[in-house]
Amino acid sequence: MTPAIIVRRLALSTLALGFAFSVVGCKGVDKGARSQRTVKASIGTFDENADVELAIGDGGGEGERPDDYDVNRALEGSYPALDACVAAYKQKKGIKPETQLEGDVEFAVKLNGGGKTKPLAVNATISSSKLDKDNEFKSCMREAVGQTDFPKYNGPHVVAKFSTQIDAGSEYWED
């Protein structure tokens, strides 16, 4: 491996790490809401630690970066679909709608730098081992984020990371 390739891979790894976004989001949910939605995940997963070749000018390497604010707004737009996954899970398992599912879900979203709004892939890790092992629920959560329209940009694919509560509920505390 030549020094130029090593330097390029190190630079790309540093660049990708530098552009990973973290967002903590809370979502509202309508108590008692039920969903009749059936979801089959078609969005792919990816290895977040894999080396990526950065080839400037190869159909998406023009150097643009997605705006943090716009990415955060897009992620917030996925909350209704995530809530539908939670409602469907509760209905399937016979859990009362007002019962809150505990835990968080962490997403890593590989944004498409080729000027397209749909992400290339979505990874999800759920803090509850029971829910993390439920492939239907996990696929629903990944698909909910995978169907979200993210900002268009022409540049290298970047990974946006965020986490949120699985079931934030809708109870409000007053002082």
Q: Which pLDDT belongs to residue 42?
A: 52
Query: What would the two tokens of residue 167 be?
Result: 């079931």
Span 140-173, pLDDT tens digits: 999 999 999 999 888 888 888 988 999 986 554 4
Strand, coil or helix: 74:
helix
* Cα gap 168→64, rounded to integer Å: 34
If phi over 0 gives left and psi between -120 and 50 gives alpha, with beta otherwise, what is residue 27?
beta
Give residue limits of the domains in the chain: 3-165
Q: What is the pLDDT of residues 50-80, one digit of tens each?
A: 655 444 444 444 567 888 888 889 989 999 9
SS3 at position 7: helix
Residue whose structure tokens are 């976004």: 21
Q: How confident is the model at residue 18 (pLDDT cuts 50, 70, 90)?
A: very low
Bridge-based pairing of strands 121-126 and 104-110 is antiparallel
pTM of this structure: 0.65
Instruction: Among 27-41, 42-56, 72-86, name the most confident range.
Output: 72-86
Q: Specify whether the CB–CB gap between 19 and 65 falls below 8 A.
A: yes
Is the CB of residue 35 less than 8 Å from the CB of residue 88?
Answer: yes
Q: What is the pLDDT of residue 141?
A: 95
Looking at per-residue pLDDT, the higher value among 83 and 113 belongs to 83
